[in-house]
Amino acid sequence: MADVLSQSEIDALLKSMKESTPKAPAASAEQAPAEQKAAEVPQTAPAEDEYSKYDFYSPRKFTKERLKLLRSIFENYARILTSQVNGIYRTMTDITVIELRESRYYEFVNSFHENDCMTIVEASVKGKGKFSVPMMAYVTPGLTLTLSNRMLGGGGEVIHVEDDYRYSDIEMSLYKRIMESIIHTLSDGFTNYIDMDFQPTRVEENPSMVQEVGLDETVVLVVLNVDVTGIASEKIRFCIPGTMLEQVFRIIDSRKMLARGFKYSNNSDTIMHHLENTRFPLTAQLGTVRLSMEDLYRMKEGDIIDLNKTKDSLLTLYVGKQSWFRCSMGTHKRNIAVRIEERIPRPSDDDETEDISRLIGEDSGDDAGDTGNGSDDDAAPKERAE
Protein backbone atom coordinates (compact mmCIF):
# COMPACT_ATOMS: atom_id res chain seq x y z
CA MET A 1 0.00 0.00 0.00
CA ALA A 2 1.35 3.40 -0.95
CA ASP A 3 2.77 5.62 1.72
CA VAL A 4 0.50 8.46 2.86
CA LEU A 5 2.03 11.83 3.81
CA SER A 6 1.43 13.00 7.27
CA GLN A 7 0.27 16.49 8.10
CA SER A 8 3.76 17.58 9.15
CA GLU A 9 5.23 16.38 5.88
CA ILE A 10 2.56 18.25 3.94
CA ASP A 11 3.32 21.42 5.88
CA ALA A 12 7.04 21.04 5.23
CA LEU A 13 6.41 20.56 1.52
CA LEU A 14 4.22 23.67 1.29
CA LYS A 15 6.81 25.65 3.19
CA SER A 16 9.55 24.59 0.83
CA MET A 17 7.40 25.59 -2.14
CA LYS A 18 6.72 29.02 -0.65
CA GLU A 19 10.45 29.58 -0.16
CA SER A 20 11.31 28.56 -3.74
CA THR A 21 8.62 30.59 -5.62
CA PRO A 22 9.96 34.08 -4.66
CA LYS A 23 13.28 33.31 -6.47
CA ALA A 24 11.59 33.33 -9.87
CA PRO A 25 10.08 36.79 -9.44
CA ALA A 26 13.45 38.01 -8.23
CA ALA A 27 15.05 36.73 -11.36
CA SER A 28 12.32 38.26 -13.48
CA ALA A 29 12.73 41.52 -11.55
CA GLU A 30 16.39 41.52 -12.46
CA GLN A 31 15.58 40.88 -16.12
CA ALA A 32 12.91 43.62 -16.28
CA PRO A 33 15.34 46.58 -16.05
CA ALA A 34 17.51 44.95 -18.70
CA GLU A 35 14.51 44.62 -20.99
CA GLN A 36 13.52 48.22 -20.30
CA LYS A 37 17.02 49.38 -21.10
CA ALA A 38 16.96 47.35 -24.28
CA ALA A 39 13.60 48.90 -25.16
CA GLU A 40 14.90 52.38 -24.43
CA VAL A 41 17.87 51.93 -26.79
CA PRO A 42 16.62 52.76 -30.33
CA GLN A 43 17.06 49.84 -32.65
CA THR A 44 18.86 50.80 -35.90
CA ALA A 45 16.90 49.66 -38.91
CA PRO A 46 18.85 47.83 -41.60
CA ALA A 47 20.08 50.10 -44.35
CA GLU A 48 17.74 50.20 -47.32
CA ASP A 49 18.64 51.10 -50.89
CA GLU A 50 17.34 54.46 -52.07
CA TYR A 51 15.05 54.20 -55.08
CA SER A 52 13.51 57.02 -57.05
CA LYS A 53 9.74 57.00 -57.14
CA TYR A 54 8.27 56.20 -60.53
CA ASP A 55 5.40 58.40 -61.64
CA PHE A 56 2.90 56.19 -63.47
CA TYR A 57 0.87 59.25 -64.48
CA SER A 58 3.82 60.56 -66.53
CA PRO A 59 5.85 57.56 -67.72
CA ARG A 60 9.31 57.97 -69.19
CA LYS A 61 9.54 58.16 -72.97
CA PHE A 62 13.24 57.49 -73.45
CA THR A 63 15.29 54.55 -72.28
CA LYS A 64 18.69 54.77 -70.65
CA GLU A 65 20.32 53.83 -73.95
CA ARG A 66 18.67 56.79 -75.66
CA LEU A 67 19.77 59.21 -72.96
CA LYS A 68 23.27 57.73 -73.02
CA LEU A 69 23.44 58.36 -76.79
CA LEU A 70 22.24 61.93 -76.27
CA ARG A 71 24.83 62.46 -73.54
CA SER A 72 27.63 61.32 -75.84
CA ILE A 73 26.39 63.81 -78.46
CA PHE A 74 26.48 66.71 -76.02
CA GLU A 75 29.83 65.64 -74.58
CA ASN A 76 31.23 65.84 -78.10
CA TYR A 77 29.52 69.22 -78.50
CA ALA A 78 31.04 70.44 -75.21
CA ARG A 79 34.55 69.58 -76.39
CA ILE A 80 34.05 71.38 -79.69
CA LEU A 81 32.49 74.40 -78.01
CA THR A 82 35.37 74.62 -75.52
CA SER A 83 37.89 74.87 -78.36
CA GLN A 84 35.76 77.41 -80.20
CA VAL A 85 35.19 79.68 -77.20
CA ASN A 86 38.85 79.55 -76.19
CA GLY A 87 39.96 80.43 -79.72
CA ILE A 88 37.44 83.14 -80.58
CA TYR A 89 37.19 84.93 -77.24
CA ARG A 90 40.81 84.33 -76.13
CA THR A 91 39.86 83.05 -72.70
CA MET A 92 40.32 79.79 -70.83
CA THR A 93 37.13 77.80 -70.31
CA ASP A 94 36.27 74.19 -69.63
CA ILE A 95 32.79 73.07 -70.67
CA THR A 96 31.37 69.77 -69.42
CA VAL A 97 27.98 68.06 -69.24
CA ILE A 98 26.81 67.95 -65.63
CA GLU A 99 23.16 66.97 -66.06
CA LEU A 100 20.99 65.30 -68.67
CA ARG A 101 17.58 64.09 -67.59
CA GLU A 102 14.03 63.67 -68.78
CA SER A 103 11.59 66.11 -67.25
CA ARG A 104 8.52 68.26 -67.90
CA TYR A 105 8.57 71.57 -69.69
CA TYR A 106 7.11 73.49 -66.74
CA GLU A 107 10.17 72.55 -64.64
CA PHE A 108 12.39 74.25 -67.21
CA VAL A 109 10.18 77.36 -67.35
CA ASN A 110 9.85 77.67 -63.59
CA SER A 111 13.63 77.86 -63.18
CA PHE A 112 13.78 81.26 -64.94
CA HIS A 113 13.91 84.62 -63.24
CA GLU A 114 11.83 87.59 -64.27
CA ASN A 115 14.52 89.25 -66.46
CA ASP A 116 16.02 86.12 -68.04
CA CYS A 117 16.23 85.75 -71.82
CA MET A 118 15.55 82.48 -73.64
CA THR A 119 16.57 81.79 -77.24
CA ILE A 120 14.22 79.88 -79.55
CA VAL A 121 16.13 77.55 -81.89
CA GLU A 122 14.74 75.92 -85.03
CA ALA A 123 16.22 72.55 -85.94
CA SER A 124 16.09 70.80 -89.31
CA VAL A 125 17.47 67.66 -90.92
CA LYS A 126 18.82 67.82 -94.44
CA GLY A 127 16.39 66.07 -96.73
CA LYS A 128 13.69 65.88 -94.03
CA GLY A 129 12.79 69.53 -93.43
CA LYS A 130 12.22 71.43 -90.19
CA PHE A 131 10.79 70.01 -87.00
CA SER A 132 7.34 71.13 -85.90
CA VAL A 133 8.54 72.29 -82.47
CA PRO A 134 11.69 74.29 -81.63
CA MET A 135 14.22 73.76 -78.89
CA MET A 136 15.15 76.34 -76.26
CA ALA A 137 18.54 77.55 -75.05
CA TYR A 138 19.61 79.70 -72.11
CA VAL A 139 22.97 81.16 -71.04
CA THR A 140 23.59 82.72 -67.64
CA PRO A 141 24.22 86.51 -67.74
CA GLY A 142 27.66 86.19 -66.16
CA LEU A 143 28.98 84.11 -69.09
CA THR A 144 27.40 86.44 -71.66
CA LEU A 145 28.91 89.58 -70.13
CA THR A 146 32.32 87.96 -69.70
CA LEU A 147 32.45 86.93 -73.37
CA SER A 148 31.07 90.33 -74.43
CA ASN A 149 33.86 91.99 -72.47
CA ARG A 150 36.41 89.89 -74.36
CA MET A 151 34.75 90.74 -77.70
CA LEU A 152 35.13 94.47 -76.96
CA GLY A 153 38.82 94.12 -76.08
CA GLY A 154 38.55 93.82 -72.32
CA GLY A 155 40.96 91.99 -70.07
CA GLY A 156 40.68 88.52 -68.62
CA GLU A 157 38.54 89.49 -65.66
CA VAL A 158 35.35 87.58 -64.95
CA ILE A 159 32.17 89.62 -64.55
CA HIS A 160 29.84 88.55 -61.74
CA VAL A 161 26.20 89.68 -61.82
CA GLU A 162 22.95 88.68 -60.19
CA ASP A 163 20.82 85.97 -61.76
CA ASP A 164 17.99 88.44 -62.48
CA TYR A 165 20.26 90.85 -64.38
CA ARG A 166 18.56 92.76 -67.21
CA TYR A 167 20.46 93.28 -70.48
CA SER A 168 20.79 96.70 -72.06
CA ASP A 169 20.13 97.20 -75.79
CA ILE A 170 23.83 96.97 -76.69
CA GLU A 171 24.30 93.92 -74.47
CA MET A 172 21.26 92.30 -76.11
CA SER A 173 22.89 92.67 -79.54
CA LEU A 174 26.09 91.10 -78.23
CA TYR A 175 24.03 88.37 -76.56
CA LYS A 176 22.50 87.44 -79.94
CA ARG A 177 25.95 87.26 -81.55
CA ILE A 178 27.22 84.97 -78.80
CA MET A 179 24.16 82.72 -79.00
CA GLU A 180 24.59 82.35 -82.76
CA SER A 181 28.12 81.01 -82.33
CA ILE A 182 27.04 78.69 -79.49
CA ILE A 183 24.03 77.30 -81.36
CA HIS A 184 25.70 76.82 -84.75
CA THR A 185 28.27 74.55 -83.08
CA LEU A 186 25.46 72.12 -82.19
CA SER A 187 25.54 70.83 -85.77
CA ASP A 188 29.13 69.63 -85.23
CA GLY A 189 28.07 67.74 -82.12
CA PHE A 190 25.39 65.79 -84.01
CA THR A 191 27.43 65.23 -87.17
CA ASN A 192 28.58 61.71 -86.17
CA TYR A 193 24.96 60.51 -86.01
CA ILE A 194 22.75 62.80 -88.07
CA ASP A 195 23.15 65.82 -90.34
CA MET A 196 21.23 68.54 -88.51
CA ASP A 197 21.16 72.31 -88.79
CA PHE A 198 20.30 74.71 -85.95
CA GLN A 199 19.25 78.33 -86.44
CA PRO A 200 18.35 80.83 -83.68
CA THR A 201 15.09 82.53 -84.62
CA ARG A 202 14.28 84.95 -81.80
CA VAL A 203 14.98 85.89 -78.20
CA GLU A 204 12.16 85.73 -75.65
CA GLU A 205 12.50 88.18 -72.77
CA ASN A 206 9.58 86.58 -70.91
CA PRO A 207 10.14 82.80 -71.05
CA SER A 208 7.05 81.99 -69.00
CA MET A 209 4.85 83.27 -71.83
CA VAL A 210 6.32 80.99 -74.49
CA GLN A 211 3.62 78.60 -75.76
CA GLU A 212 5.70 76.63 -78.28
CA VAL A 213 5.54 73.53 -76.05
CA GLY A 214 2.84 72.40 -73.64
CA LEU A 215 3.62 72.72 -69.96
CA ASP A 216 3.18 68.97 -69.43
CA GLU A 217 5.18 68.09 -72.52
CA THR A 218 8.04 65.65 -71.97
CA VAL A 219 11.41 67.30 -72.58
CA VAL A 220 15.06 66.49 -72.02
CA LEU A 221 17.01 69.07 -70.04
CA VAL A 222 20.74 69.35 -70.75
CA VAL A 223 22.90 71.47 -68.44
CA LEU A 224 26.49 72.38 -69.37
CA ASN A 225 28.88 73.76 -66.78
CA VAL A 226 31.27 76.46 -68.05
CA ASP A 227 34.32 76.88 -65.84
CA VAL A 228 35.75 80.31 -66.71
CA THR A 229 39.49 80.52 -65.87
CA GLY A 230 38.85 78.51 -62.71
CA ILE A 231 37.20 81.53 -61.06
CA ALA A 232 33.53 81.44 -62.05
CA SER A 233 31.13 78.63 -62.89
CA GLU A 234 28.42 79.54 -65.40
CA LYS A 235 25.72 77.43 -67.04
CA ILE A 236 24.33 76.74 -70.51
CA ARG A 237 20.93 75.01 -70.52
CA PHE A 238 19.12 73.35 -73.42
CA CYS A 239 15.53 72.15 -73.47
CA ILE A 240 14.79 69.60 -76.22
CA PRO A 241 11.12 68.64 -76.74
CA GLY A 242 10.32 64.95 -76.66
CA THR A 243 8.54 65.02 -80.03
CA MET A 244 11.70 66.34 -81.67
CA LEU A 245 13.88 63.70 -80.04
CA GLU A 246 11.53 60.92 -81.12
CA GLN A 247 11.95 61.93 -84.75
CA VAL A 248 15.72 62.31 -84.35
CA PHE A 249 16.09 58.84 -82.80
CA ARG A 250 13.85 57.38 -85.51
CA ILE A 251 16.09 58.80 -88.23
CA ILE A 252 19.24 57.56 -86.46
CA ASP A 253 17.77 54.05 -86.12
CA SER A 254 16.79 53.92 -89.78
CA ARG A 255 20.27 54.93 -90.86
CA LYS A 256 21.85 52.35 -88.58
CA MET A 257 19.69 49.61 -90.07
CA LEU A 258 20.48 50.84 -93.57
CA ALA A 259 24.20 50.83 -92.83
CA ARG A 260 23.93 47.35 -91.29
CA GLY A 261 22.16 46.12 -94.42
CA PHE A 262 24.88 47.45 -96.69
CA LYS A 263 27.50 45.89 -94.47
CA TYR A 264 26.22 42.31 -94.61
CA SER A 265 24.49 42.12 -97.98
CA ASN A 266 26.11 41.62 -101.37
CA ASN A 267 25.88 44.93 -103.20
CA SER A 268 28.27 44.28 -106.06
CA ASP A 269 25.52 44.80 -108.65
CA THR A 270 24.55 48.13 -107.12
CA ILE A 271 28.18 49.25 -106.98
CA MET A 272 28.76 48.26 -110.60
CA HIS A 273 25.59 50.10 -111.62
CA HIS A 274 26.88 53.29 -110.02
CA LEU A 275 30.31 52.81 -111.61
CA GLU A 276 28.80 52.34 -115.05
CA ASN A 277 27.10 55.72 -114.81
CA THR A 278 30.23 57.49 -113.54
CA ARG A 279 31.57 60.17 -115.89
CA PHE A 280 35.30 60.55 -116.56
CA PRO A 281 36.95 63.46 -118.39
CA LEU A 282 38.69 62.47 -121.65
CA THR A 283 41.45 64.72 -123.00
CA ALA A 284 43.09 64.37 -126.41
CA GLN A 285 46.52 66.02 -126.28
CA LEU A 286 47.99 67.32 -129.53
CA GLY A 287 51.33 68.23 -128.02
CA THR A 288 53.16 70.42 -125.53
CA VAL A 289 55.70 73.20 -125.88
CA ARG A 290 57.62 75.39 -123.46
CA LEU A 291 57.65 79.16 -123.96
CA SER A 292 59.74 81.84 -122.35
CA MET A 293 58.14 84.70 -120.49
CA GLU A 294 59.15 87.10 -123.24
CA ASP A 295 57.46 84.99 -125.94
CA LEU A 296 54.37 84.70 -123.79
CA TYR A 297 54.35 88.47 -123.22
CA ARG A 298 54.65 89.23 -126.96
CA MET A 299 52.04 86.67 -128.02
CA LYS A 300 49.20 88.10 -130.10
CA GLU A 301 46.39 86.99 -132.38
CA GLY A 302 47.55 85.23 -135.53
CA ASP A 303 50.78 83.82 -134.05
CA ILE A 304 51.57 80.20 -134.91
CA ILE A 305 53.15 77.94 -132.31
CA ASP A 306 55.09 74.91 -133.54
CA LEU A 307 54.34 71.77 -131.50
CA ASN A 308 57.30 69.84 -133.03
CA LYS A 309 55.02 67.07 -134.29
CA THR A 310 53.94 66.01 -137.79
CA LYS A 311 50.36 66.48 -138.87
CA ASP A 312 49.80 62.72 -139.13
CA SER A 313 51.26 61.83 -135.74
CA LEU A 314 49.07 60.09 -133.22
CA LEU A 315 47.54 61.92 -130.29
CA THR A 316 47.51 60.78 -126.67
CA LEU A 317 44.08 60.22 -125.09
CA TYR A 318 43.96 60.73 -121.32
CA VAL A 319 41.31 59.36 -118.95
CA GLY A 320 41.49 61.80 -116.09
CA LYS A 321 45.26 62.31 -115.75
CA GLN A 322 46.25 58.81 -116.90
CA SER A 323 47.27 58.16 -120.52
CA TRP A 324 45.35 55.19 -121.94
CA PHE A 325 45.18 55.28 -125.77
CA ARG A 326 46.87 56.48 -128.93
CA CYS A 327 44.40 58.02 -131.35
CA SER A 328 44.16 59.91 -134.63
CA MET A 329 42.14 63.07 -135.25
CA GLY A 330 39.41 63.52 -137.82
CA THR A 331 35.79 64.58 -138.19
CA HIS A 332 32.52 62.85 -137.42
CA LYS A 333 29.20 64.42 -138.43
CA ARG A 334 31.02 67.74 -138.97
CA ASN A 335 32.44 67.63 -135.45
CA ILE A 336 36.04 67.14 -134.44
CA ALA A 337 36.55 63.53 -133.27
CA VAL A 338 39.33 61.07 -132.51
CA ARG A 339 39.66 57.42 -133.42
CA ILE A 340 41.41 55.06 -131.02
CA GLU A 341 44.26 53.28 -132.74
CA GLU A 342 46.00 51.40 -129.93
CA ARG A 343 46.14 51.08 -126.19
CA ILE A 344 49.15 52.31 -124.28
CA PRO A 345 50.77 49.50 -122.26
CA ARG A 346 50.26 49.78 -118.54
CA PRO A 347 53.37 51.45 -117.07
CA SER A 348 55.04 50.37 -113.87
CA ASP A 349 54.39 52.20 -110.66
CA ASP A 350 57.56 54.31 -110.98
CA ASP A 351 56.81 55.25 -114.58
CA GLU A 352 53.21 56.04 -113.66
CA THR A 353 54.35 58.37 -110.88
CA GLU A 354 56.79 60.12 -113.22
CA ASP A 355 54.09 60.42 -115.90
CA ILE A 356 51.61 62.02 -113.49
CA SER A 357 54.30 64.35 -112.09
CA ARG A 358 55.22 65.38 -115.63
CA LEU A 359 51.58 66.09 -116.46
CA ILE A 360 51.12 68.17 -113.30
CA GLY A 361 54.27 70.14 -114.09
CA GLU A 362 53.19 70.72 -117.66
CA ASP A 363 49.68 71.76 -116.63
CA SER A 364 51.04 74.33 -114.16
CA GLY A 365 53.88 75.70 -116.29
CA ASP A 366 52.82 75.19 -119.89
CA ASP A 367 49.31 76.58 -120.05
CA ALA A 368 50.45 78.51 -123.10
CA GLY A 369 50.96 75.32 -125.08
CA ASP A 370 48.98 75.04 -128.31
CA THR A 371 46.29 72.57 -129.41
CA GLY A 372 45.04 72.32 -132.96
CA ASN A 373 41.67 70.95 -133.91
CA GLY A 374 42.41 68.86 -136.94
CA SER A 375 40.28 67.09 -139.53
CA ASP A 376 40.80 64.77 -142.48
CA ASP A 377 41.98 67.86 -144.36
CA ASP A 378 45.20 69.65 -143.48
CA ALA A 379 44.74 72.29 -140.81
CA ALA A 380 47.10 74.70 -139.07
CA PRO A 381 47.58 74.21 -135.30
CA LYS A 382 45.61 76.58 -133.09
CA GLU A 383 46.30 78.30 -129.78
CA ARG A 384 45.77 75.65 -127.10
CA ALA A 385 48.01 72.78 -126.06
CA GLU A 386 45.18 70.51 -124.92
Number of H helices, E strands in the chain: 11, 11
User: Which pLDDT value is given to residue 75?
Assistant: 94
User: Which pLDDT value is given to residue 355?
Assistant: 56
User: Which pLDDT value is given to residue 12?
Assistant: 80
Contact in structure between 77 and 182 (CB atoms under 8 Å): no
The two beta strands, 129-130 and 118-125, are antiparallel
Residue 273 belongs to some domain of the structure? no
User: Which pLDDT value is given to residue 215?
Assistant: 84
Question: Do 360 and 304 belong to one domain?
Answer: yes
User: Which pLDDT value is given to residue 376?
Assistant: 42
277-300: b (≥16 Cβ within 10 Å) or e: eeeeeeebbbbbbebeeeeeeeee
Q: What angle do CA 379, 381, 386 make, to 5 degrees?
A: 125
Maximum CA extent, the chain = 167
Residue 356 belongs to some domain of the structure? yes
pTM above 0.85? no
User: Which pLDDT value is given to residue 56?
Assistant: 62
User: Which pLDDT value is given to residue 268?
Assistant: 78
Question: Do 255 and 351 belong to one domain?
Answer: no
Task: State the Cα–Cα distance between residues 220 and 194, nearest whole angstrom.
Answer: 18
User: Which pLDDT value is given to residue 94?
Assistant: 92
CATH of the domain at 332: 2.30.330.10
Question: Do 185 and 73 belong to one domain?
Answer: yes
For the chain, 386 residues long, the average pLDDT of each consecutive 10-residue run is 66 76 48 52 55 64 89 94 90 92 89 88 88 91 89 81 86 92 91 90 85 86 90 90 90 71 62 80 86 88 84 86 87 88 74 56 47 41 38
Which residue range forms the structural domain that includes residue 132? 64-261
Number of domains in the chain: 2
